[in-house]
């Protein structure tokens, strides 16, 4: 094991900056959607970066210049970063500890099986594996979304295990990137949040983000606890806004109102704003659903469950949109009971949102598999997520494009608002289906255009 060295960084001038202060060498531990993006973008900004994962096949693909998931713009940046010689990937934590001055923890924090709590085993195991090799003054920076209190616990863990002891500091730097826009969000974030325990940690983080800070990006410096809370508070707010308009959709359904007009009228009020106020099938993915559940769970553990009890309702409203979409398909198919045997459904979309191949907690797949369970013959089509969907739902049929998936369909249901689905010509699709019936689960189509050529059109919260 290497001897404990001094605090100085090991590489040349800081990227994006003329100062003589050397740039920190970075490691990024966990190379999934967040970590791979972070590693590639930081190398693009000029840092020397080592990506680390326990998944050998993922590391092999990344080292061969292949991004193991769909993210627009990322493959090009990976190629550029590999050519520059500033980026490589490994499975060795020993190598990572020797290489890095600042280590970003980007591993998954999924929902625990059988509980709403976050599963922290990957974070604990990554931090444990790294800490054992940390022999000099270093900063370990959590980026994963974690329950409040995790950073304090990990500080104790890392300092107990590291040969460098309390020379190793922990910081939290929550990540707000959106899949589909991950490159831009990483290179040009709205803000950076630095949760730190010392001026040294803040200075290290400022060095690690120097090119981004230099563009005038706001930096909020705070304590570890607040930094952890910022992320779950932000996701809770976004989820609440989506469920709020979907709750209004439920009221519209009961009263004959039109939630699209209602949302439009609300959006003109600057205090409310139109973003995330779009009615439809609701949120899914690897973040929002598990983050609001973990937040509610953690608040209950801390005795402040009441403060965020509304998140349980936000979750319930969101889930009800999925079953309501199934009901709309049933209504259009003219089926009164539960049984959809013999009904052919073309399901447009599998990913949890457009521009992503991520199917974690995807509303689209939830609806498709519910229809299948009711007896329907479901053909799913998605521009990027088919392979991921097939792995989890082999019982469904998969098409290659929307028109061929719709051949002989009794009902078409739009579940993910990919641009190519919004551009479908209703006349062309109408010429292949058995019945011109469409459920617009994302309120993304021009109802008048579809109705004009004889389609029965239904959408959530609309007459």
Indicate which residues carry an active-site annotation. 287
CB 283 within 8 A of CB 240: no
Q: How far is the CB of 148 from ligand NAD (least distance, A)?
A: 14
185-190's contacts with Cβ under 8 Å and 24+ in sequence apart are 186/37, 186/38, 186/41, 187/41, 187/44, 187/45, 187/212, 188/212, 188/215, 188/217, 189/217, 190/217, 190/218
CB 410 within 8 A of CB 344: yes
Alpha carbons 214 and 236: distance in angstroms, whole number:
30
β-sheet with 168-172: strand ranges across? 87-90, 49-52, 26-29, 102-105, 138-142, 168-172, 192-195, 219-222
Query: How many of the chain's residues bind ligand NAD (CB under 6 A)?
Result: 26
How many C-beta atoms lie closer than 10 Å to residue 83's C-beta?
10
Residue in this structure with the two tokens 């049929």, named with its chain if needed: 397
Build a one-symbol-per-residue string for 120-159: x at contacts with ligand NAD by CB under 6 A, - elsewhere: --x--xx-----------------xx--------------
Residues within window 343-402 making contact with ligand NAD, judged by CB under 6 A: none
Q: Which of residues 278-317 bind ligand NAD (CB under 6 A)?
A: 286-287
Q: Kindly report the backbone phi and psi dihedral angles of residue 144, in degrees, each rounded to the nearest multiple of 5, phi listed first.
A: -60, 155
Least spacing, CB of residue 6 vs ligand NAD, in Å: 27
What is the footprint of ligand NAD within residues 80-109 (CB under 6 A)?
Answer: 106-109
Q: Of residues 52, 139, 249, 371, which one binds ligand NAD by CB under 6 A?
A: 52
**Residue 106 CB, nearest approach to ligand NAD (Å):** 6
405 binds ligand NAD (CB under 6 A): no
- Here's the x/- map for ligand NAD, 1-40, by CB under 6 A: it reads as ----------------------------xxxxxxx-----
Distance CA 207, CA 101 (A): 11
Nearest distance, CB of residue 178 and ligand NAD, angstroms? 6
Residue 283 CB, shortest distance to ligand NAD, in Å, is 12
Interface residue list for ligand NAD (CB under 6 A): 29-35, 52-55, 58, 106-109, 122, 125-126, 144-145, 175, 177, 179, 286-287
């Amino acid at each position: 094991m290497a001897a404990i060295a001094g605090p100085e960084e090991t590489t040349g001038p800081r990227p994006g900056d003329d100062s003589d202060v050397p740039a920190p060498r970075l490691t990024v531990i966990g190379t999934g959607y967040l970590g791979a993006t972070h590693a590639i973008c930081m190398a693009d900004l000029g840092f020397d970066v080592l990506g680390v994962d326990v998944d050998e096949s993922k590391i092999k693909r990344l080292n061969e210049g292949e991004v193991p998931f769909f993210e627009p713009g990322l493959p090009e940046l990976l190629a550029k970063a590999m050519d520059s010689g500033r980026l490589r990937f490994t499975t060795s934590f020993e190598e990572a500890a020797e290489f890095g001055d600042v280590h970003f923890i980007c591993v998954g924090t999924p929902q625990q099986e059988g509980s709403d709590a976050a599963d922290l085993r990957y974070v604990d195991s990554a931090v444990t594996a790294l800490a054992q090799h940390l022999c000099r003054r270093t900063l370990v920076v959590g980026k994963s979304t974690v329950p409040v209190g995790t950073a304090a616990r990990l500080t104790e863990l890392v300092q107990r295990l590291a040969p460098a002891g309390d020379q190793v500091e922990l910081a939290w730097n929550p990540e707000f990137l959106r899949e589909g826009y991950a490159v831009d969000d990483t290179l040009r974030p709205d803000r950076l949040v630095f949760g730190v325990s010392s001026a040294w940690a803040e200075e290290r983080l400022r060095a690690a983000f120097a090119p981004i800070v230099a563009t005038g990006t706001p930096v909020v410096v705070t304590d570890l606890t607040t930094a952890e809370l910022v992320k779950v508070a932000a996701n809770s707010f976004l989820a609440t806004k989506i469920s709020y308009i979907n709750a209004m959709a439920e009221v519209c359904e009961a009263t004959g109102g039109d939630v699209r007009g209602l949302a439009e009228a609300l959006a003109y009020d600057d205090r409310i704003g139109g973003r995330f106020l779009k009615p439809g099938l609701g949120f899914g993915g690897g973040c929002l659903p598990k983050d609001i559940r973990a937040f509610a769970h953690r608040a209950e553990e801390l005795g402040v469950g009441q403060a965020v009890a509304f998140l349980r309702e936000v979750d319930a409203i969101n889930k009800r949109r999925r079953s309501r979409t199934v009901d709309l398909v049933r209504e259009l198919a003219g089926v009164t009971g539960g049984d959809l045997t013999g009904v052919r459904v073309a399901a447009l979309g599998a990913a949890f949102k457009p521009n992503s191949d991520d199917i974690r907690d995807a509303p689209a797949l939830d609806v498709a598999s519910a229809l299948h369970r009711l007896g329907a013959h479901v053909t799913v089509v998605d521009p990027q997520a088919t392979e991921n969907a097939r792995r989890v739902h082999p019982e469904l049929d998969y098409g290659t494009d929307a028109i061929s998936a719709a051949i002989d369909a009794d009902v078409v249901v739009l579940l993910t608002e990919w641009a190519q689905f919004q551009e479908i010509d209703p006349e062309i699709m109408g010429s292949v289906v058995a019945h011109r019936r469409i459920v617009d689960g994302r309120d993304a189509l021009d109802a008048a255009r579809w109705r004009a050529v004889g389609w029965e059109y239904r959408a959530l919260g609309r007459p």
